[in-house]
Structure 1
Amino acid sequence: MASDVINLLRAANQTIGVAESLTAGLVMSALAAVPGASDAFRGGIVSYATPLKHSLLGVSAELIAREGVIHPDVAAQMAEGARKATTPEGEEATAWGVGTTGVAGPDEQDGKPAGTVFIGIASHWGGSRALGPFLFPGPRERVREATVMEALARLREELVAAADGEKEGKGGRRQAL
Structure 2
Amino acid sequence: MTAVINYTPHSTKTAYHIACEVIHLLKESGKTLAVSESLTGGGLMGTITSVEGCSTVFRGGVVSYATPIKQHLLQVDGDLIAEHGVIHADVASQMATGARSITTQRDMTPTSWGIGTTGVAGPNPQDGKPVGMVFIGIASSSGSKGFGPFHFPGSGERVREATIVEALYLLRQEVVKATQGVSL
Q: Normalising to structure 2: TM-score of the pair? A: 0.87
- Long gaps (5+) in structure 2: 1-17
Aligned with residue 37 of structure 2, among 20, 38, 43: 20
Task: Give 3-state SS (helix, strand or coil) of 1:52's partner.
Answer: helix
Separation (CA, whole Å) in 2 of partners of 1:67 and 1:86: 27
* AA aligned opposite 1:15: T
1:29 aligns with 2:46: yes
1:88 Cα offset (Å) = 2.9
Separation (CA, whole Å) in 2 of partners of 1:152 and 1:87: 21
Separation (CA, whole Å) in 1 of partners of 2:177 and 2:139: 14
* Aligned position for 1:116: 133
Q: Percent identity?
A: 58
Aligned with residue 96 of structure 2, among 60, 64, 79: 79
Runs of 4+ in structure 1 off by over 3 angstroms are none
* AA aligned opposite 2:169: A
1:50 Cα offset (Å) = 1.1
Task: Give 3-state SS (helix, strand or coil) of 1:104's partner.
Answer: coil
Q: Normalising to structure 1: TM-score of the pair? A: 0.90
- Long gaps (5+) in structure 1: 166-170, 173-177
1:51 Cα offset (Å) = 1.0
* AA aligned opposite 2:146: A
1:140 aligns with 2:180: no
* Aligned position for 1:9: 26
* Aligned position for 1:88: 105
Matched residues, number: 165
Contact persistence 1:87–1:95 (CA under 8 A): no
Aligned with residue 47 of structure 1, among 60, 64, 75: 64
Pairwise CA RMSD: 1.1
